[in-house]
Amino acid sequence: ATPRSAPADAHDVIRVRGARENNLRGISLDIPKRRLTVFTGVSGSGKSSLVFGTIAAESQRMINETYSSFIQGFMASLARPDVDDLQGLTTAIIVDQERMGANVRSTVGTVTDANAYLRTLFSTLAEPHVGGPGAYSFNVPSVTAAGAMTVQKGAKTIAEKTSFSRVGGMCPRCEGMGHISDVDLAELYDESLSLDEGPFTIPNYAAGGWYVKIFASSGFFPSDKPIASFTTRQLHDFLYKEPTKVKIDGVNMTYEGLIPKIQKSILSKDRDALQPHVRAFVDRAVKFVTCPECEGTRLAEHARTSRIDGVSIADVTAWQITDLATWVEGLRERHLGPTVSPLLTNLAALLSSFVTIGLGYLSLDRPSGTLSGGESQRTKMIRHLGSALTDVTYVFDEPTIGLHPHDIATMNQLLLALRDKGNTVLVVEHKPETIAIADHAVDLGPRAGSHGGELQYEGDVAGLRASDTLTGRHLDRRVTLKEQTRESTGALAIRGADQHNLRDVDVDIPLGVLTVITGVAGSGKSSLVHGSLPRDVEVTVVDQGAIRGSRRSNPATYTGLLEPIRKAFAKANGVKPALFSNNSEGACPVCKGAGVIFTELGFMETVSTPCEECEGRRFQAAVLEYRLGTANIADVLEMSVEEALEHFTTEGSAVPAAAKLLRHMDEVGLGYLTIGQPMTTLSGGERQRLKLATHMGDTGGILVLDEPTTGLHLADVGNLLTLLDRLVDSGKTVIVIEHHQAVMAHADHLIDLGPGAGVDGGQVVFEGTPAQLVAEASSLTATHLRQYVG
Ligand code: ADP
Ligand code: ADP
Ligand code: ZN
Ligand code: ZN
């Protein structure tokens, strides 16, 4: 018999042929299965377009197609990625850094199921509670996450899936959210005025209007007396009365108290969909306060009060996970019964994976929305480590973000463990320490945007190292310690800082220089920089967080770039500037200038599909007849920063104010970015650099950056350092949280926190120049920097 040769569609590779998503130039490659493949290349070279936009997207689309058409009706209709052929895909699971903040009830404990184990544990072992459920007064309107607002009814739907409610252990007052939204009455009306005088400061409640008339004529309270003089009963009817039939001017109407009324008409709406003045009203009027009933523990009274060895479930979820793990080990030794023992074993294994992954310093009650991007990604990873699934394609986006070189070794072990369970692991990464462990490497480039999208290298890491690619040339690059450090012009004194884990920290941050804050994840860097700076100094924080704003926002609107461009279009064509704004009369009437149609699915994520009317171009056809130079406004929004810079500096279409902003965007390394790309498609690193671009023109002040090397190729870190130098030389104080050795080495001043994470951290373990750190210090940072100098 002849041996079988591998079939053409060999099942041991993911076969990609002719990938053209975004900037990809029809690339073809084979990715080995059950191996760890790293994707490298400068920011904007096309790594995400290949890994997320093509491979993972197609896998998810095909899985969606296997559902019944009924369920598919509820799911995003994903477009097929632009690729000729894809073979050998398996189920793709994306483990990204998007923060898990969508649901306010979610905590570290709920998203990893640790709370489910704890509840079973407490219901099995805890002593019975004393007392009944607490009474609660009227139900104030509830608003969920800051941003998206939902009616309580809708939220209860969601609640079916959340653990605080499943056990009936959920606090009835706040419905398991830990906080209640309180409407600030002072923002609703002026109580010194009567209804006849038009006391309301709510949008659409102007004096003489229909809404006000219903109140004034309801008969439940006097309309000519100041609201402040209402009796308790009258005030209650005014604010909270349930829907009641009344007759006004002979017309049958329904009267309802002010709070439920605005709850329905304003507060329950998607914040982004509100008109700007209504949104501003909501932001002013709605405040979150800790729930007075459960004091923020989210639990009903009986769940709050049952105890094991004197401690309640709320106590243990507030502990640092390392301490909880020790407590659970103690229980395991004492409870060997057949029901409890397996439960304790599973819980112990789950908790130990937190410790292994470097998150032992967290507590289970930590709202998942407060985790950093890197912490969110690692928390998601915990779910998969314990998973019984194999032959899955796991896709990671820079898993080392937020990790000190010391923590990277642990992360590497976890990536390898996922691979060794029989999974295909795809990692987009820039850090040499993680590139080094890959079985296979794919390098894209040579540069970003239209200058990228080509395969530069595929093969093993040794080959990448030896290759003449940008990545290969930088992989073994050493760092040089700064010899001439700048002299400070003063100091920012922090005294007795005790935010989170900080232990009464006294430290001086020098002014007028570049300070780099270092330390392992969880050591207290963010707590120091974001929570402890003196209140009277003006600090600009440039972080990777989501940018609040409407769905129509994009880099052009966010940076203010569109303003001068619209004016120039208007002037050149003798029409109004507003025509060129995608939220005004020039906008496509169907999608209202979004270019896509959003479908709200209530309990599921909102789905967007391209607008068929304008084909995603956002404007009315007539508006697109107007040109500035060679381009219309939709063409402009499709330009990259580089292309736009060229266009707006060319005679006939020059717009100096726009060119200035575009130059700043180019300087921060975003030359490849499409200026009209929806803000929601930007990565954390891109958002941060975009924010930075808007501050490039400022003089003086204190600028705080959180891991600005995120998303940057080794070759671009040098440009970032030049940029930071320019900011300092222009008179700014620049404070940077960083793990990248080249940035540490370039600091004028280093502040190293540690020695460990959580309760083992929170102290300043070194202050001084990089040269001093390498020469003298014994901290983890010193050890790791030493290895890179030379
Ligand atoms: P990388 O992951 O290597 O940083 P990307 O795949 O994100 O690169 O980007 C490659 C190119 O595609 C860039 O020019 C980028 O601006 C563009 N791009 C990425 N996403 C979108 C999008 N949603 N719409 C338009 N252009 C995009
Ligand atoms: P780093 O920035 O060095 O990673 P952080 O300042 O984020 O460290 O965290 C230091 C400690 O403070 C950790 O134990 C962390 O869990 C805790 N912590 C940070 N942010 C919060 C928060 N919003 N609520 C509660 N604890 C927090
Ligand atoms: Zn409560
Ligand atoms: Zn449209």
Q: What is the DSSP letter of 397?
A: E
Whether residue 189 is found in the same domain as residue 274: yes
How far lies 189's CA from each of 183, 186, 331, 725, in Å?
12, 6, 56, 51
Give CA separation, 577 vs 282, 567, 585, 631, 635, in Å.
Answer: 29, 5, 10, 16, 17
Residue 199 Cα to ligand 2 midpoint, Å, equals 44
Domain boundary among 243, 264, 290: 290
Cα–Cα distance for residue pair 82/25, rounded to 1 Å: 11
Give the single-character DSSP code of 170.
B
The CA 23 to ligand 3 mean position distance, Å, reads: 49
Closest ligand to residue 501's CA:
2
Measured from the Cα of 519, ligand 2's closest atom is 3
Q: Residue 103 — very low, low, confident or very high, per pLDDT cuts 50/70/90? A: low
Ligand 1 atom at minimal distance to the Cα of residue 45:
3
Could you identify the atom of ligand 2 that is nearest to the CA of residue 372?
7
| Dist. CA 301 → ligand 3 center (Å) | 9
Pocket of ligand 1 from Cβ distances under 6 Å: 22-23, 41, 43-49, 448-449, 672-674, 677, 681
User: Could you tell me the two tokens for 754?
Assistant: 């540690």
Ligand 1 pocket test target in 21, 24, 25, 48 with most atoms within 8 Å of CB:
48
- Three-state DSSP class for 674? strand
Residues 166 and 303 reside in one and the same domain: yes
Angle at 536 between CA 530 and CA 541, to 5 degrees: 35
- Ligand 1 centroid vs 704 CA: distance in angstroms? 27
Least confident of 469-483, 502-516, 596-610: 596-610
- The rounded Å distance from CA 615 to ligand 1 centre is 20
* Residue 87 covered by a domain: yes
- ipTM of the complex as predicted: 0.95
In the three-class reduction of DSSP (H, G, I as helix; E, B as strand; rest coil), residue 124 is classed as: helix
Residue 624 pLDDT greater than 80, yes or no: yes
Asked whether residue 539 carries a pLDDT value surpassing 60, the answer given is: yes
Residue 546 pLDDT more than 90? no
In the listed set 265, 290, 315, which residue is the last one of a domain according to the structure? 290
Give residue 373's pLDDT.
75
What is the CA(435)–ligand 2 centre distance, in A?
Answer: 28
605/640 same-domain check = yes
pLDDT digits 0-9 by tens, 75-90? 556 678 999 999 999 9
Considering only CA atoms, which residue is closest to atom 24 of ligand 2?
A: 366
Residue 774 within any structural domain of the chain: yes
Q: Looking at the structure, do residues 32 and 80 belong to the same domain, yes or no?
A: yes
pLDDT at position 173, please?
83
Return d(Cα 97, Cα 374) in angstroms, integer: 6
- Is 108:379 a contact under the CB 8 Å cutoff? yes
| DSSP letter (8 states) at residue 329 | H
Smallest CA separation from ligand 1 atom 25, residue: 677
Could you tell me the two tokens for 585?
């009369």
Q: 600 falls in which pLDDT band (50, 70, 90)?
A: low
Judge whether residue 39 has pLDDT over 50. Answer: yes
User: For atom 23 of ligand 1, which residue has the closest CA?
Assistant: 681
Work out the pLDDT band at 359, boundaries 50, 70, 90.
Answer: very high
In this model, does residue 116 exceed pLDDT 90? no
Locus of tokens 């990790």: 403
**432 pLDDT exceeds 90?**
yes
Q: What is the pLDDT of residue 700?
A: 86
Instruction: Please provide the size of the chain in residues.
Output: 790
pTM reported for the whole predicted model: 0.80
Looking at all shown ligands, the one closest to residue 165's CA atom is 3
- CB of 544 within 6 A of ligand 2: the answer is no
Both tokens assigned to 288: 């979150």
Query: Which pLDDT does position 775 carry in this prediction?
Result: 94
Q: Are 151 and 189 found together in one domain?
A: no
CA-nearest residue for atom 23, ligand 2, is: 370
Measured between alpha carbons, how far is 20 from 165 in angstroms, rounded to an integer? 46
Same domain, residue pair 587 and 673: yes
As to burial, measured by CB atoms within 10 angstroms (0-12 exposed, 13-18 middle, 19+ buried), residue 597 is middle
Is 80 exceeded by the pLDDT of residue 514?
yes
**Residues 710, 43: Cα–Cα separation, whole Å:** 10
For residue 591, how far is its CA from the centre of ligand 4 (angstroms)? 4
CB 455 within 8 A of CB 442: yes
Q: Ligand 1, atom 21: nearest CA belongs to which residue?
A: 22
Q: How far apart are CA 470 and CA 636, in angstroms?
A: 31
Say whether the peptide bond before residue 755 is cis (omega within 30 degrees of 0): yes
Contact (CB, 8 A) for 178 and 290 = yes
Total domains present in the chain: 5
526 lines ligand 2 (CB under 6 A): yes
Distance CA 747, CA 736 (A): 9
- Residue 751 pLDDT grade (very low, low, confident, very high; cuts 50, 70, 90): very high
Give the pLDDT confidence score for residue 599 in this predicted structure. 65
pLDDT band at 141 (very low <50, low <70, confident <90, very high): very low
Residue 516 domain-assigned (yes or no): yes
Which of 577, 579, 660 lies closest to 624, judged by CA?
579
Query: In this structure, which residue's CA is closest to atom 10 in ligand 2?
Result: 524
SS3 of 688-750: the string is: HHHHHHHHCCCCCCEEEEECCCCCCCHHHHHHHHHHHHHHHHCCCEEEEECCCHHHHHCCCEE
Residue 322 Cβ contacting ligand 2 at under 6 Å: no
| Residue 107 confidence class, pLDDT cut points 50, 70, 90 | confident
User: What are the structure tokens assigned to 727, written together?
Assistant: 């900011």
Distance from the alpha carbon of residue 290 to the mean position of ligand 3, in angstroms: 8
313, 166: one domain: yes
- Ligand 2 center to residue 408 CA distance, Å? 19
| pLDDT (0 to 100) of residue 607 | 62
Single residue among 615, 647, 681 that ends a domain in this structure:
681
Q: What is the pLDDT of residues 304-355, one digit of tens each?
A: 778 899 998 889 999 999 999 999 999 999 887 887 889 999 999 999 989 9
Residue that the structure tokens 């309990």 belong to: 603
Highest mean pLDDT among 92-106, 265-279, 685-699: 685-699
Residue 632 counted as domain residue? yes
Nearest ligand to the CA atom of 621: 4
pLDDT of residue 684: 78
Angstrom CA distances, 730 to 505, 513, 697, stand at 30, 11, 10
Provide the pLDDT for residue 26.
98
- Phi, psi for 170 (deg, rounded to 5): -80, 140
Please name the residue that has the structure tokens 């096309």. 46
Asked if residue 609 is part of any domain, the answer here is yes
Contact 175, 156 (CB under 8 A): yes
Q: Which atom of ligand 1 is nearest to the CA of 448?
A: 14
Look at phi and psi of residue 198 and say left if phi exceeds 0, alpha if psi is from -120 to 50, else beta.
left
Q: Which atom of ligand 2 is nearest to the CA of 530?
A: 6
Ligand nearest to the CA of 358: 2
Task: Kindly give the distance from the C-alpha atom of residue 600 to the centroid of ligand 3, in angstroms, as a whole number.
Answer: 28
Non-local CB neighbours of 709 within 8 Å, separated by 6+ positions:
430, 717, 720, 738, 739, 740, 743
C-alpha of 361 from chain center: 21
Distance 662 CA to ligand 4 centre (A): 27
pLDDT, residue 151, reads: 28
Is any ligand 2 atom within 6 A of the Cβ of residue 564?
Answer: no
How does residue 6 score in pLDDT terms, banded at 50, 70 and 90?
A: very low
Same domain as 459, residue 434: yes
CA 611–ligand 1 middle distance (angstroms): 21
Q: Is pLDDT at 286 greater than 70 in this prediction?
A: yes
Q: Are residues 586 and 671 in the same domain?
A: yes
CB of 523 closer than 6 angstroms to any ligand 2 atom: yes
**How far is 517 from 735, CA to CA, in rounded Å?**
7
Residues near 164 by Cβ (< 8 Å), separated by ≥ 6?
Answer: 105, 110, 170, 171, 176, 298, 299
Task: Tell whether the model's pLDDT for residue 140 goes beyond 80.
Answer: no
Report which of residues 141 and 257 the model is more confident about: 257
> Looking at the CA of 403, which ligand is closest?
2
Atom of ligand 1 nearest to the CA of 53: 6
Alpha-carbon gap, residue 374 to 362, rounded angstroms: 13
Of the candidates 388, 469, 471, 381, the residue with the CA atom closest to the CA atom of residue 434: 471
Q: What is the CATH number of the domain that holds 135?
A: 1.20.1580.10
The rounded distance, in Å, linking the Cα atoms of 550 and 414 is 38
Q: Which ligand is nearest to the CA of 638?
A: 1
599 within a domain of the structure (yes/no)? yes
Whether 144 shows a pLDDT value over 70: the answer reads: no
Query: For the ranges 8-22, 109-123, 133-147, 743-757, which has the lowest average pLDDT?
Result: 133-147
The answer to whether residues 118 and 168 belong to one domain is: yes
Q: What does pLDDT average to over the chain?
A: 86
Region 150-160 average pLDDT: 34
Q: Which of 45, 54, 30 is nearest to 395 (CA)?
A: 54
* Contact in structure between 450 and 456 (CB atoms under 8 Å): no
Domain assignment of residue 302, given as a range? 108-178+292-356
Q: Name beta bridge partners: 751.
A: 517, 767
- Residues 519, 505: one domain? yes
pLDDT at residue 168, as a whole number: 57
User: In a mutational test of the pocket of ligand 1, which residue from 23, 617, 690 has the highest number of ligand atoms less than 8 Å from its CB?
Assistant: 23
Q: What pLDDT does residue 128 have?
A: 58
Q: Which of 527, 735, 751, 765 to mutate to test the pocket of ligand 2 (most atoms within 8 A of CB)?
A: 527
Instruction: Give me the residues paired with residue 397 across strands.
Output: 428
Report every protein residue that has its C-beta within 5 angstroms of ion ligand 3: 171, 173-174, 291, 293-294
CB-count exposure of residue 630 (10 Å: 0-12, 13-18, 19+) = exposed
Q: How confident is the model at residue 772 (pLDDT cuts 50, 70, 90)?
A: very high
Residue 612 · residue 589 · CB < 8 Å: no
pLDDT given for residue 156 in this prediction:
32
Examine residue 199 and say whether the peptide bond preceding it is cis (omega within 30 degrees of 0).
no
* pLDDT band at residue 11 under the 50/70/90 scheme: low
Same domain, 162 and 306: yes
Token pair for 475: 């992989």
Q: For residue range 454-498, what is the model confidence (pLDDT) as tens digits?
A: 999 999 999 999 999 999 999 998 898 988 999 999 999 999 999
Tell me how far apart the alpha carbons of residues 64 and 435 are, in angstroms, rounded to a whole number.
Answer: 32
Ligand 2 midpoint to CA 288 (Å): 21
Mean pLDDT highest for which of 193-202, 705-714, 761-770?
761-770
> Does ligand 2 lie within 6 Å of residue 521's CB atom?
yes
In terms of average pLDDT, the best of 173-177, 193-197, 670-674 is: 670-674
Lowest mean pLDDT among 135-149, 151-165, 438-452, 513-527: 135-149
Spatial distance between the Cα atoms of 697 and 560, rounded to a whole number of angstroms: 13
Any idea which ligand is nearest the CA of 738?
2
Percent of the chain past pLDDT 70, that is, above it, reads: 89
For 577-596, b/e burial (b = at least 16 CB within 10 A) is bebbbbbeebbbeebbbbbb
Residue 691 lies in a domain: no
Out of 114-128, 191-205, 570-584, least confident range = 114-128
Ligand located closest to 171 CA: 3
Which tokens hold the place of 590? 């169907």
Average pLDDT over residues 52-57: 93
- Does a structural domain hold residue 546? no
